[in-house]
């Protein structure tokens, strides 16, 4: 029971930190003000931002799996770490580009929330991939 409560609390803290980081990126990009009129449905920029979020999630998953495998002696997750680094870089750059070309804030159809999410997730994917590669190198030098 104690472990479940801890996992829930850590998950809530991670979600709050992620939301705070996304908001900070929106404020830094000067697109945090909501739109006067809201655009509903998919727009090309929202599709772009959604595709980049999916790429970033692939990078985070690959980096997480590579980080888990770097602690193991038997499985080599070096490919996952490289995928995380590349996918994270592409996602962060494209998320930044979505924010750079945006002419308004959330609700304008420019995909600014998705761009900010992709930017943050891309940075997380690159960090996980880098940590996994560092674990592989550290283990290679000690063996």
Residue 107's domain spans which residues?
2-142
Helices (H), 29-77: 44-70
pTM attached to this predicted model: 0.84
pLDDT value of residue 85: 95
Q: Measuring CA to CA, how many Å separate 79 from each of 31, 87, 142?
A: 36, 12, 21
Domains identified in the chain, total number: 1
Q: In 10 A of CB 58, how many CB atoms?
A: 17
Tell me which residue of 103, 108, 2, 110 sits closest to 47, measured CA to CA. 110
pLDDT value of residue 86: 96
pLDDT tens-digit readout, 50-78: 999 999 999 999 998 888 876 555 556 78
């Amino acid at each position: 029971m104690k472990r479940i409560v801890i996992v829930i609390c850590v998950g809530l803290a991670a979600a709050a930190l992620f939301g705070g980081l996304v908001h900070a990126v929106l404020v830094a990009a000067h697109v945090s003000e909501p739109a006067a009129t809201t655009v509903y449905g998919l727009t090309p920029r929202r599709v772009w931002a959604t595709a980049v979020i999916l790429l970033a999630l692939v990078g985070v998953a690959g980096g997480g799996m590579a980080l888990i495998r770097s602690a193991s002696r038997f499985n080599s997750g070096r490919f996952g770490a490289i995928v995380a680094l590349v996918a994270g870089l592409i996602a962060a750059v494209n998320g930044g580009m979505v924010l750079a070309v945006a002419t308004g804030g959330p609700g304008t159809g420019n995909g600014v929330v998705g761009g900010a999410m992709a930017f943050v997730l891309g940075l997380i994917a690159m960090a996980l991939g880098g940590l996994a590669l560092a674990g592989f190198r550290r283990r290679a030098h000690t063996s």
